[in-house]
Structure 1
């Protein structure tokens, strides 16, 4: 006999498998969970349940502890072999609590006492599936970061801060100093100065490089979206409709790093919430009272003159500025270290040449001579754009000044 499908509408919601030898209990639990917005399938014994786990993507298994032909413990052990990611909740009579607790030691998430109270059921299922969702998201982000780390471009290695000038040597020292610092770090520099790249270097060369890296641009995202995106929102009712709670980016970055580009543009209320993350390593979702762990290394970037101006105008909290200004990396503008141009231009020309399928082997001295005359208000981004244009134009292994057709002093 195959498993009996119950309500499978709402494909975006989680799928719960109910296992009980009593039809009345299966039906009542299925109806209740459907009313909460979840999809359900049912099974009356261990064999049917295992078959369902093999054929479908079950998110949560809700099983009776004592059934003829196999116990909930038997089912737990088999399910964990088939799919270790499935969450399991045991249902048990009062006299079997000790066995249910033992099941939790074997991998069950929790247990429910029979007869099951529907309010208790909804709270427990919501909590477990939210934890499962967050766990899967963290695993996905960690997997992405592992893949990125294996294929990291050379520009995210510590050695990618190329140059022999005193300014670059000082920059490299600062980066090394803060690689293992868990407290917030602030990276200051002019627009186009590779602030985000340096923030990524800090993460990828740190002890937490295999953990999540989340990036958020505070000036690109409208202020009204900062709180829900960064801190999430608790489940709520709107016009009689249940709106599912969401975890924020800060939660997802737990044990990892978070880059807040243009941190001085973060919305004012969020600044207070960020202060709690700094001081208590906890976060709270919008509209909620529960605190979530948030052991996150915050790496902020900002333009030095702008953040100081925003602090003076009370647009960026003084306490945040004071807290972050203890660990500052100042990135020198390109115009102050033109002796680094030969190394920078050749390295960027080779990188872009490889990207576009062109073998750039060297750079003509005239290129360095002409580029040295520029003030580079756009800093490294400007240099990168100029070299990209030249590489696309070049037909030779030596990058010449003739390849820089659009170069002009701004």
Structure 2
């Protein structure tokens, strides 16, 4: 089903959960197909109620400590591009009586129930999940139209994600009833709408000009550069040039990451660093430092004008986009012993996810300064734009 809320696309899946204090547990789901497949238009959607892998959670009993998991595949067959920014749960709580189930009006019981149910939502593709979007109770995700107390859960700049036309994303959800719940929840039934709030076509119209930059024609990173210019993630120099083969400084990298994640620029009298921070980059340097994306040097130095190295940029972006290692990858670069210990895991993650590559001579050159084109291409891949260029 689909309904429109605040001029946004809201996708809804309904699950009925019956809660009793008798023990029962059933966890399993297929690894070749999502339990629920949901299309933006909805006409092709298939599957069963979420929060249960077998689709029969409404017929089962829940008890303290019970866990149930499942998967959802969301296809964008509607628009050129959508951006998912908010997840919500609309929950109707009912209690069994002699005359059947009646809706619970007690706010304390309603919220106690919501806080007793933990929900974890992970994002991935091909049923491989690398990024945790949500790991809290039902309560923090509650949504009721017109109720300021229940506004759903706004995804952070790190976790918002885009879906291009005919692309999909997989979500894995796990519900866990807390071990400590009491008799207050006996005989309750919750009907839960899981809402995915998506903006249609979130395109930044900074310029309609094609090939705006003067010095990228024929460059291997041309398509990514033009795409990032289009979305306002990079902006050329005053003379209109991009200078793709120039190195990128730490200050420039902080601005690039901040714009890519749509982070808010901080404005504070003290930066926390003792060296000079350029005014044009200060807001993003503060924000990315607070979010532990950038880490300064000892003695509270940021070194804004230093060129950022390949291993530094890789580590920054793996932290920024919260990518994780799924397996132990053996690096085959001839100079892998030159990769710093603190950067090794992030380099492996970047290589495994095809975000950064080595050179034809089988080296990685971790201590070399990264070029602007190389950094732009990494951002392009992380935002999903690079796939468009190869289709």
Asked whether the two chains share a fold, i.e. TM above 0.5, the reply is: no
Q: Taking structure 1 as the reference length, what is the TM-score of the superposition?
A: 0.23
Q: Which has the larger radius of gyration?
A: 1
Task: Name whichever structure is richer in strand by fraction.
Answer: 2
Task: Name whichever structure is richer in helix by fraction.
Answer: 1
Pick 1 or 2: higher relative contact order, CA cutoff 8 A, min separation 6.
2
